[in-house]
Structure 1
């Protein structure tokens, strides 16, 4: 066990291998093709292949072939073993050196039930997907949730088609505005209970740690603003994104927040990312 731990720590000691590991952790539970990892991190394909091989050999990530592509995914169990090895096995049983069992405290700590839960949806521009998600949660969960949205790159204008689709579905848009994530990271910002990225670009970025240990997840969705075709086809892309987000958010609001601990909630929220709309 000790040799596995030291091998994994040695693998993570390289900054580029660590960058790959952190990217896959942020994109969990997604599987990423090697080409996307190369593009996001600006690596040479040959170098990336070496880094991915090292991470796979030590079990920190998993590899799966799909056709001609190799897909990579974080191995959460292995990541947990590294943390356990560092905090518990390496301390030699000394109470004055061992860190408290933070994982157990975080996993079993219940969410507050005496107030609304704060949920922040993030995408790159805060003009379409995260705006749709904010409006949908405010519509179907306003009695139990405070809905927010923000972008990693500020844009001043909301996408007009996104607003049109919200209005066509009977949702209020008066409170919507484009915001940057920095608005939610100051000392006076509301403390989040959930942070959900809804676009891959935002999840790829290394955002600062959020106060209060919110449950974080990634529900990656295609950008409807990049859809090609006629005006009708482009509008359909926004409606499909709206429907997909409403399906996910409906599943989210139906979770038993009072009876599930943080570990169980994390698994349920991650599973929601895989939900698809039922076919007609």
Structure 2
């Protein structure tokens, strides 16, 4: 057991293998295609293959073939076992001395309180998917939740097809705008309870840790902006994306947020993110 842990630490001691491990952790529970991993990390296919194989031999990553594509995911049991070794064997099971800035709220299983919660949705352009999520959650949750959205590389304007769909669905679009993620990382920014990425590219990027350790999850969806075709085909793609997000957010707002502990909430939002439902909701 201990030798296996040493092997894992040694494997993660390489900067690019560690970067690959961290990316797959951010994308959990997704299985990510090798081509996407190589592109996100700027690696040649053979170099990626070598790093992936090393992580697989250490038991930290699993592989699955889907058609002609190889897809990879974190072996969460092995990751937990490795991190748990540090906590229990080295720190004597005391997170208060091992975790930086540890507080009872950041390390415990305290349920969400009945205060107003802050939720942030992140994508690359902040012109469609994350804007959809912000508008939908704001209307679904009322005064229980404050919804925000931002982009890692925001566009200067919101997508006109996205605005059209939101207007058709009866959302107030007057306050919506494209925002840079940096706007929410200053001292005056809200403290977030949940942070969701809604596009793969944003999830693949390195982002700083959020204060207060909010619950985070990846709810990746195909970018409707990337769809080619007629205006009718593009409009349909935006309608489908809106519908998929609305279905997920209906599930999210139905969760008993005030009574579930942190681990249960994390599992619940991960499961919502695995939903592949499409089609517009009314």
TM-score range, shorter chain: over 0.9
**Aligned 1:64-143 pairs, distance under 5 A:** 64-91=64-91, 93=92, 99=98, 106-113=107-114, 115-143=115-143
1:43 aligns with 2:46: no
Measured after TM superposition, the shift of residue 34 of structure 1 is: 1.2
User: Separation in 2 of the partners of 1:20 and 1:106?
Assistant: 26
SS at match of 1:23: helix
Deviation at 1:100, TM superposition (A): 6.5
Question: Helix, strand or coil: the match of 1:108?
Answer: coil
Corresponding residue for residue 9 of structure 1: 9
CA distance in 1, matches of 2:14, 2:259: 41
TM-score by length of 1: 0.93
Distance 1:274 1:218 in 2: 9
8 Å Cα contact 1:59-1:78 kept in structure 2: yes
Q: What is the correspondence of 1:1-280 to structure 2 with a 5 Å cutoff?
A: 1-91=1-91, 93=92, 99=98, 106-113=107-114, 115-277=115-277
1:68 offset after TM fit, Å?
2.4
Q: Distance in 2 between matches of 1:90 and 1:272?
A: 35
CA RMSD across the alignment: 2.2
- Measure, in 1, the Cα distance between the counterparts of 2:200 and 2:99: 34
Provide the secondary structure at the position in 2 that maps to 1:143: helix
Does the C-alpha gap of structure 1 residues 238 and 85 become closer, same or farther in structure 2, counting only changes over 3 Å?
same
TM-score by length of 2: 0.93
**Matched residue count:** 278
Offset of 1:218 from its aligned partner?
0.3
Contact 2:240-2:279 at 8 Å conserved across structures: no
Runs of 5+ consecutive residues of structure 1 not aligned to the other structure = none
Q: CA deviation at 1:99?
A: 2.6
**175 and 24 in structure 1: CA distance in 2 versus 1, 3 angstrom threshold:** same
Aligned partners of 2:103, 2:63: CA distance in 1, in Å? Answer: 27
Where in structure 2 are there 5+ consecutive unaligned residues? none
Q: CA deviation at 1:90?
A: 2.4
CA distance in 2, matches of 1:107, 1:159: 41
Q: CA deviation at 1:67?
A: 2.5
The range that moved more, 117-126 or 27-36, is: 27-36
Whole-angstrom CA distance in 2 between matches of 1:14 and 1:127: 37
- Cα deviation code 1:122-144 (max 9, x no counterpart): 00011110001000001111231
